Each structure stands twice: as structure tokens, then as C-alpha cells.
Amino acid sequence: MHALDVLGDPVRRRILELLAEGEQSSGAVTAVIREEFAISQPAVSQHLRMLRGTGFATVRAEGTRRPYAVDSAPLQEIDAWLDRFRAFWDQRLDALGTELARGKRERRLRTGSESPDGPGSQDSPDDKDPGNRENRREVAGE
């Protein structure tokens, strides 16, 4: 089974998210998944078995506990597959960065001419603060 087929199921993706936080017992995983997805314990066990069988998760016996952990090897297969498409995202993210910088520059030029120090004045600390209300509005496109 291809790695993306395994991750096509939202329950299995959520189980991997839980395991990414650290090793978890099957009981702990089952409790969360049953609550979030309203599925039975045997159904959760089947998903865990699928993740084990496809190499996404490992399990070890620890007395009566069965701690599960993520195995990163299949994730590397997905990463390699996604690598072909990163160029598309890189271009778009670069363009977004350019547009954000252009908007900040235009705002500085507008507000700089109105400041008492003139157009060449230094930016106020608020201009660089991403938490600033105006900056959040600018990023949101308002």
C-alpha cells in the first residue's frame, strides 16, 4: 500500500499526530480517537494494526502495555514524493513575501511623509511588530 493511501484516512492521520507528540499506549490513543471520531475500540485497533503493518508505527510490549511510536521511514517516502511539488510552493511563498514587503514599504513611505522627522525617519517599533493591529490588518488584506 502506498504511503499516501495509508494517510488518506483521517483517523490514521490523527493517530500519527498523537504519536508525533511522543510514545503513547494503545489505550491512550484509543481513548482520544474514540472520543473524537466516535468509533469502537476494535476499529481503532484495526487502524493501529494498519499503521504497524505499513511501517508508520512501531509497538513494543511493556508488561500489559503496548506503547506505540511513529516510525519516520514511510514519512520520508512522502517527503520525497512531495519534493517534486515544492518548487510550486516556493515560488508562491516567495511572491507572497515580496508582496508583504512591498506593502510594508508603501505604508512606511505614506506614514514617513507625515511624520515630524520627514520621509527619511526611522520606523516606529510598531511598524515591525507582527502583533500590531495595523500589521495584522495589512496581512489579512484589509
For the stretch 42-99, pLDDT in tens is 999 999 999 999 999 999 999 999 999 999 999 998 888 888 888 888 888 888 889 9
Q: State the first-to-last Cα distance of the chain, in angstroms, to the nearest integer.
A: 46
Average pLDDT for the chain: 83
Residue 1's pLDDT band (cuts 50, 70, 90): low
Neighbours of 39 (CB within 10 A): 15
Measured CA to CA, the distance from residue 16 to residue 19 in angstroms comes to 5
